[in-house]
Chains A and B, each alone.
Chain A
């Protein structure tokens, strides 16, 4: 059955131009943001000025191996909203064309339909992770002057952390699309919440954490997975204590992210099963 679902989803995606165009935009954005940051950094450390030398001394080179996997994951994670648009489009289009009904009428179980979308979100995550991996490898190669004695894959765990973060955030985007059904409203809420409202809430909880003793902001839906990839240590030196705490909390956030992602998909299956189409 799973092979039939994969085949059918592929038939839907294969000739969907908007899907490939948006993935291409993602493919451009990753080298774009990382390239800009990399060349800006190289320019600053190449400068003969005192500040340039200070930056070099303080930061080392965050784009060199093995740090490259962490730094590019951190920078690339700002652009998850582009594949999120793809995912929202994939589900809201089904509602727009009423093909979600037709898929059921033609013989799918309601669970099959959601499994199809789960596979699509997984596929998008895989593609996005490959983009990130390519960018991390290329920038790492460019930035590493001496490969000898370096364990390139020392920070390769960030490949898994990045893909988990992307999958979790795309799953939330999917749930929004499933709940709201209208593409532009779902995009609007996604962008507003992830870029504005959650940051405000995060700030609020940070202030209150001094009084409450716990920062509940760490458990907000996007922050849970954002904390899988904290600021790279070389850049995080400016607030070393917090950075160390954030890195130490990664393992806990892996668990929280897995639980949240599982919850999001169980809720999606439940909603689609119970709701009239």
Chain B
């Protein structure tokens, strides 16, 4: 089942096209990463699906239905920065979240504050919190009442390494319990660790989307090395099915269409040409590399 379906959404700010006919869908129970460089349209997209901004064209559906405020009540959200009342304490702020969304009760307020390690400061005013504590409180507000869907925009902003690891574990725990998490992040390493689906935006255009495995593995990559790299390059150049190759610190990276490479055949091919390989590794591409490749100018 699809939790969110986005259909050809476009949004402009004057002459700047923030989103250009972007479409993708988010399966239920997935941890969905929305990636892109600064200004790529991630927050604009999240703002539109939370009804804070209006799309110029296109539309979206929550749970297969036209969006309504009733859907937003069921979604725990953190958008851009912690948007809370500076003069109120953590508990008082969460009471407002509870009152508007109808999610949770007084016990749940204390439970989420425990979960994000803010319980000891529950009666301190928001204005006295550090950036990391403010972020934790905003995450607590999103988690209140255990919503089935969470939208988190840069959830690890301002957190220390321990806090980042805690949020990562929290998201993994939510996923294990069947929650759907939609998160935008710059931290590709984090996204790779927790997300099972991604969409990559660049200047408002969707350039890739789907399961992480399928986005990362659009091509097979095999790294080879030999004592004479020049000879190896000449040899590999003649290998049937090779799309391209490039030198790296590990050796020569050879790219093939997905599912067409075979380390055994490459080894035999080189051996027949009189070359002995010192390295032969089937390499899985990391999200960071793929991201730079896709978003490169």
Contact = CB atoms under 8 A, between A and B. Distances in A.
Given A101-B79, A105-B77, A108-B69, A12 B53 contact: no
Interface of A: 4, 7-8, 11-12, 15-18, 97-99, 101-109, 112, 276-277
Contact of A104 (B52, B87, B88, B89): B52
A11 B96 contact: yes
A114 to B, nearest CB: 14
A102 B87 contact: no
25 contacts: A4-B100, A7-B99, A8-B99, A12-B96, A18-B87, A97-B85, A97-B86, A99-B83, A99-B84, A99-B85, A101-B52, A101-B79, A102-B97, A103-B100, A104-B51, A104-B52, A105-B50, A105-B72, A106-B77, A106-B97, A106-B100, A108-B69, A108-B100, A112-B69, A277-B47
Contacts of B173: none
A104 B97 CA distance: 11
Contacts of A277: 47, 52-53
A135 to B, nearest CB: 29
A97 B93 CA distance: 12
A4 B101 CA distance: 10
- How large, as a class, is the contact surface on chain B? 20 to 34
Contacts of B102: 107
A105 B52 contact: yes
Contacts, number: 76
B99 A109 contact: no
Interface of B: 47, 50-54, 69-70, 72-73, 77, 79-81, 83-89, 92, 95-97, 99-102, 141
Contact of A107 (B47, B69, B79, B81): B69
Nearest to B96: A11
Nearest to B70: A107
A257 B77 CA distance: 41
A23 B119 CA distance: 33
Contacts of B101: 106-107
B97 to A, nearest CB: 6
Contacts of B47: 276-277
